[in-house]
């Protein structure tokens, strides 16, 4: 019998590539995203062979409807792969509390809500696998990506407790920590409303966000990541953390654990901001 996986954020970027790899590996993929509410979604050739269901991870009613519809397709959920995410770029000083809330609500609480739908089913099955997409930013901060970094750090801490609680029920939890990968959509990379040209951080912000954009658009192959995640789900024991990143990003994480904090922050800052104009 084919195993069933629910994939959130499957309309774009790493969620899409992971869903495609799982389908190609023989999983029954139940794919969720807000844009799957549109009839046009069914015409996208890359989504062929998947069950597409509308899903907004910030909306409890949408999540309940997704669970019911998914269970009518398959009575099991062998795995839940959580990729839905977004970011709002901005300085700590000017990113609005509502913008922090929006990012936390999608990236962190969205995962909490989805887990709460899947866990009772997995507990009854006495088996299940949960993969949550964190990021290198779940391990270290970078300038002007603060709301996103906070949400990914929240996921990292939460996942540790989740895994410890779920051991007796045969449920395995894995954090995927991607470095930069191409194919993420600009639609989910918003600029904070406070980040005008008049911002005292305007010059540093421009430099850092250009670098962030450059690194992502020249990032690693998303298909390769998708296949790695599919292979991981086939293993008898999944690792708790799986970093999928370029050698320099592995190095950045290693230095973060070894170097004194101030030195590490100086190096990271100078990577993103070269010659800041003082205002």
Ligand X SMILES: NC(=O)c1ccc[n+]([C@@H]2O[C@H](COP(=O)([O-])OP(=O)(O)OC[C@H]3O[C@@H](n4cnc5c(N)ncnc54)[C@H](OP(=O)(O)O)[C@@H]3O)[C@@H](O)[C@H]2O)c1
Among all residues, which ones are annotated catalytic?
Answer: 11, 134, 148, 152
Q: CA-to-CA distance for 4 and 27, rounded, in angstroms?
A: 6
**Does the footprint of ligand X cover residue 13 (CB under 6 A)?**
yes
Nearest distance in Å: CB 275, ligand X: 26
Helix or strand or coil: residue 72? helix
Q: Element (H or E) spanning 35, and its range?
A: none
How far does CA 172 lie from the centroid of its chain? 18
Assigned token pair, 146:
């603060």
Helix or strand or coil: residue 44? coil
Nearest distance in Å: CB 215, ligand X: 8
**Does the footprint of ligand X cover residue 184 (CB under 6 A)?**
yes
**Does the footprint of ligand X cover residue 226 (CB under 6 A)?**
no
DSSP assignment letter at 278: P
Contact indicator for 133, 173 with CB cutoff of 8 Å:
no
Q: Which is nearer to ligand X, 84 or 130 (CB)?
A: 84
Contact indicator for 39, 103 with CB cutoff of 8 Å:
no
Q: Which stretch binds ligand X (CB under 6 A): 95-103, 158-166, 183-191, 260-268?
A: 183-191
Nearest distance in Å: CB 229, ligand X: 11
Cβ count within 10 A of residue 30: 26
Considering Cα of 240, then 120, then 28, then 55, what sign does the dihedral take?
negative
List binders of ligand X among 192-211 (CB under 6 A): none
Q: Using CB under 6 A, pick the residue from 53, 219, 229, 273 that binds ligand X.
A: 219
Q: CA-to-CA distance for 187 and 11, rounded, in angstroms?
A: 12
**Does the footprint of ligand X cover residue 188 (CB under 6 A)?**
yes
Q: Which stretch binds ligand X (CB under 6 A): 29-37, 69-77, 122-130, 205-213?
A: 29-37
Q: Which is nearer to ligand X, 34 or 123 (CB)?
A: 34
Nearest distance in Å: CB 65, ligand X: 13
List binders of ligand X among 49-78 (CB under 6 A): 55-58
Q: How far is CA 171 from CA 71, 81, 119, 138, 153, in A?
A: 19, 13, 9, 22, 22
Q: CA-to-CA distance for 31 and 83, rounded, in angstroms?
A: 11
Q: Which stretch binds ligand X (CB under 6 A): 68-76, 80-88, 89-97, 227-235?
A: 80-88
User: What does the binding site for ligand X look like in residue numbers (CB under 6 A)?
Assistant: 8-9, 11-15, 33-35, 55-58, 83-86, 106, 133, 135, 178, 180-181, 184-185, 188, 216, 219
């Amino acid at each position: 019998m084919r195993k069933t996986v629910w994939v959130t954020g499957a309309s774009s970027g790493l969620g899409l590539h992971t869903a495609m790899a799982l389908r190609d590996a023989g999983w029954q993929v139940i794919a969720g995203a807000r844009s799957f509410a549109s009839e046009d979604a069914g015409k996208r050739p890359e989504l062929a062979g998947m069950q597409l269901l509308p899903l907004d991870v910030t909306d409890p009613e949408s999540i309940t409807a997704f669970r019911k519809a998914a269970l009518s397709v398959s009575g099991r959920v062998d795995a839940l792969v959580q990729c839905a995410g977004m970011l709002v770029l901005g300085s700590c000083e000017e990113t609005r509390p509502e913008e922090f809330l929006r990012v936390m609500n999608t990236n962190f609480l969205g995962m909490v809500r989805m887990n709460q739908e899947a866990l009772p089913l997995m507990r009854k099955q006495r088996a299940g696998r949960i993969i949550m997409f964190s990021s290198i930013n779940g391990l270290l901060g970078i300038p002007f990506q603060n709301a996103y970094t906070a949400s990914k750090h929240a996921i990292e801490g939460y996942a540790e407790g989740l895994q410890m609680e779920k051991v007796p029920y045969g449920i395995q939890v894995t954090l995927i920590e991607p470095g930069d990968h191409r194919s993420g959509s600009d639609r989910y990379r918003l600029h904070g409303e406070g980040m005008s040209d008049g911002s005292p951080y305007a010059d540093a912000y421009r430099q850092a966000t250009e670098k962030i954009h450059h690194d992502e658009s020249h990032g690693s192959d998303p298909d390769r990541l998708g296949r790695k995640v599919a292979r991981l789900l086939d293993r008898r024991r999944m690792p708790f953390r799986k970093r999928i990143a370029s050698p320099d990003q592995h190095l950045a994480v290693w230095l973060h654990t070894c170097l004194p904090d101030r030195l590490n922050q100086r190096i990271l800052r100078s990577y993103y901001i070269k010659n800041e104009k003082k205002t």
